[in-house]
């Protein structure tokens, strides 16, 4: 589980606490051929006589942003260009030299001294294989001619609403005597279908993001002890991920201890770890634009309490049930159904839920303790695009058991069951303030699945061992 990424979190400068990532060969980045193939696939999907326009994500002033610029995923997927203030145009059916055009910022030494080197018009052709390239300020003067013969427009705005408004206005500028506007639609749905099944080069990036995130979780486990703080664990993981080649974290880390463990998206990270706490750590990085999403739960003392142990075992059993359901041809909802059934069975056994099993499943009364879905897509975004195929207008909490998309080799998804018992959620207070989530990243393969992040300890005994070994190696320090 992860939140949408705002500006980059402030990274703790305690680099001495951050363990260096294991040296290894980095996977090669996507080549120009990858982006060219994506453009050709999209052009093949577009109706004859159509034109497609893609806007880069807008930049913010360097003195106001807290993180490095990150390109719009769809724009990057088609071009590979990571600069702001750019527009890509695809013209279906056009000759090769005019089928793909890039409008970019021209070279300007004075500007580049402040904000970095630009690709420029020559680089747009040589490095990014545009058939034609122009200065971005020329787009509005050239677009009417490019679109004059087009029958349909497909577009993305990169989040720039004003660009979208002006694009449609320009598209229809010479349409005053026609009863209806010219046909125009967002290109996102077509790209989402393409992005759902990953190419080998994308899988390599996701595998590295997941591996590095799992390594960071191991490092965090070794830093756990009462008297430390949630931010100590976050600093360790962020430092390791960045030193391992990650461009950024995939989402703001969630490090939630004690009563915070039952808050799914705990935002603060300043609580002191106390003996007896359980810690939910949902932290992962992005590698080469591709996001991982990994969660582990562990005890601050190095040993789960009997009640924490029981809840942990139920969640782990639910995750294993979800794992078993991931295979080609399975419907997306089957993964969630398998995990939910295991959670309900475990909570009934513990007496935390009571009543008829079938009725609990039908009424979804388990959702007060397991309130989220088991899976989501992964890729260029931590909650990546791609259809789940549930009925339009269905309530969010109903969707998880209705998603009909069939799994195919090359799809990547999370499996992340969780149980969160808030105060007064049960009659017996021994269960209160216990939150457990275990999340991993799975690649659907031709024979089943591959877990990309399972090198981080998952079995309860292995988690406890990792924490205790870290405590034994680290000299004790007084609590501040």
Question: 207, 333, 383, 460: which one is catalytic?
Answer: 383
Look at residues 419, 418, 449, 448 and name the one whose alpha carbon lies nearest to residue 431: 419
Q: Judge whether 293 counts as a catalytic residue.
A: yes
Q: Judge whether 372 counts as a catalytic residue.
A: yes
**Distances from the Cα of 462 to the Cαs of 31, 303, 322, 441, 455, in angstroms?**
39, 11, 20, 19, 11
Question: 420, 441, 458, 464: which one is catalytic?
Answer: 420
Question: 73, 416, 441, 464: which one is catalytic?
Answer: 416
SS3 state at 254 = strand
Question: 229, 372, 399, 450: which one is catalytic?
Answer: 372
Question: 73, 152, 269, 282: which one is catalytic?
Answer: 282
Is the sign of the CA dihedral 171, 176, 178, 180 positive or negative? Answer: positive
Q: Judge whether 439 counts as a catalytic residue.
A: yes
Q: Judge whether 282 counts as a catalytic residue.
A: yes
Number of Cα atoms under 13 Å in the Cβ half of residue 208: 25
List the structure tokens of 79: 């071009």
Q: Judge whether 55 counts as a catalytic residue.
A: no
Helix axes 139-147, 161-171, angle to 10 degrees: 40
Question: 152, 269, 277, 293: which one is catalytic?
Answer: 293
Q: Judge whether 334 counts as a catalytic residue.
A: no
Question: 57, 99, 228, 376: which one is catalytic?
Answer: 376
Element (H, E) at 449: strand 449-451
- ∠ CA 365-367-369 to the nearest 5 degrees? 110
**Distances from the Cα of 308 to the Cαs of 15, 250, 262, 311, in angstroms?**
32, 28, 12, 5
Q: Strands (DSSP E) along 56-171, which ranges? A: 87-91, 100-104, 132-135, 152-156
Question: 99, 437, 458, 468: which one is catalytic?
Answer: 437
- ∠ CA 207-208-211 to the nearest 5 degrees? 85
d(CA 265, CA 433): 15
Q: Judge whether 154 counts as a catalytic residue.
A: no
Element (H, E) at 139: helix 139-147
Question: 67, 82, 307, 450: which one is catalytic?
Answer: 67
Tell me how long the chain is: 480
Question: 165, 265, 368, 474: which one is catalytic?
Answer: 265
Q: Judge whether 450 counts as a catalytic residue.
A: no
List the structure tokens of 70: 């990150």
d(CA 175, CA 197): 39
- ∠ CA 238-239-240 to the nearest 5 degrees? 95
CB 27 within 8 A of CB 207: yes
Q: Judge whether 383 counts as a catalytic residue.
A: yes
| Residues noted as catalytic | 67, 265, 282, 293, 372, 376, 383, 416, 420, 437, 439
């Amino acid at each position: 589980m992860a939140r949408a990424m705002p500006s980059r979190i402030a990274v703790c400068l305690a680099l001495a606490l951050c363990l260096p990532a294991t040296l290894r060969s980095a996977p090669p980045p996507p080549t120009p051929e990858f982006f060219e193939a994506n453009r050709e696939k999209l052009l093949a999907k577009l109706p004859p006589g159509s034109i497609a326009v893609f806007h880069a994500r807008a930049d913010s002033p360097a003195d106001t942003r807290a993180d490095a610029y990150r390109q719009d995923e769809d724009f990057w997927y088609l071009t590979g260009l990571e600069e702001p203030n750019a527009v890509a145009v695809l013209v279906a059916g056009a000759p090769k030299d005019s089928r793909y055009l890039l409008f970019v910022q021209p070279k300007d030494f004075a500007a580049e001294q402040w904000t970095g080197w630009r690709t420029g018009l020559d680089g747009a052709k040589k490095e990014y294989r545009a058939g034609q390239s122009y200065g971005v300020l020329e787009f509005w003067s050239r677009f009417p001619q490019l679109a004059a013969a087009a029958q349909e427009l497909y577009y993305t705005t990169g989040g720039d609403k004003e660009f979208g408004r002006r694009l449609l206005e320009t598209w229809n500028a010479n349409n005053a005597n026609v009863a209806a506007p010219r046909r125009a639609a967002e290109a996102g749905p077509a790209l989402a279908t393409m992005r759902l099944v990953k190419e080998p080069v994308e899988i390599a990036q996701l595998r590295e993001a997941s591996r590095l995130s799992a390594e960071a979780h191991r490092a965090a486990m070794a830093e756990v002890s009462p008297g430390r703080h949630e931010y100590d664990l976050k600093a360790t993981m962020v430092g390791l991920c960045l030193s391992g080649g990650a461009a950024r974290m995939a989402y703001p880390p969630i490090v939630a201890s004690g009563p915070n463990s039952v808050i799914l998206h705990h935002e603060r990270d300043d609580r002191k770890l106390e003996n007896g706490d359980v810690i939910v750590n949902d932290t992962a990085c992005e590698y080469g634009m591709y996001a991982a999403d990994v969660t582990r739960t562990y005890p601050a003392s190095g040993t789960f309490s009997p009640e924490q142990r029981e809840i942990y075992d139920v969640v782990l059993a639910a995750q294993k049930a979800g794992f078993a359901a991931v295979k080609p041809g399975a419907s997306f909802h089957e993964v969630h159904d398998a995990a939910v059934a295991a959670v309900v069975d475990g909570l009934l056994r513990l007496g935390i839920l009571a009543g008829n099993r079938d009725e609990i499943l039908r009424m979804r009364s388990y959702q007060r303790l397991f309130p989220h879905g088991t899976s989501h897509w992964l890729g260029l975004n931590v909650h990546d695009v791609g259809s789940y195929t549930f009925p339009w207008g269905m309530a969010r909490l109903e969707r998880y058991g209705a998603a009909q998309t069939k799994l195919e080799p090359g799809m990547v998804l999370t499996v992340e069951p969780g149980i969160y018992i808030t105060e007064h959620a049960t009659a017996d207070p021994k269960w209160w303030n216990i939150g457990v989530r275990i999340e991993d990243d799975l690649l659907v393969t031709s024979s089943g699945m591959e877990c990309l992040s399972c090198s981080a300890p998952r079995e309860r005994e292995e988690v406890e061992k990792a924490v205790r070994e870290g405590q034994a190696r680290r000299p004790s320090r007084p609590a501040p």
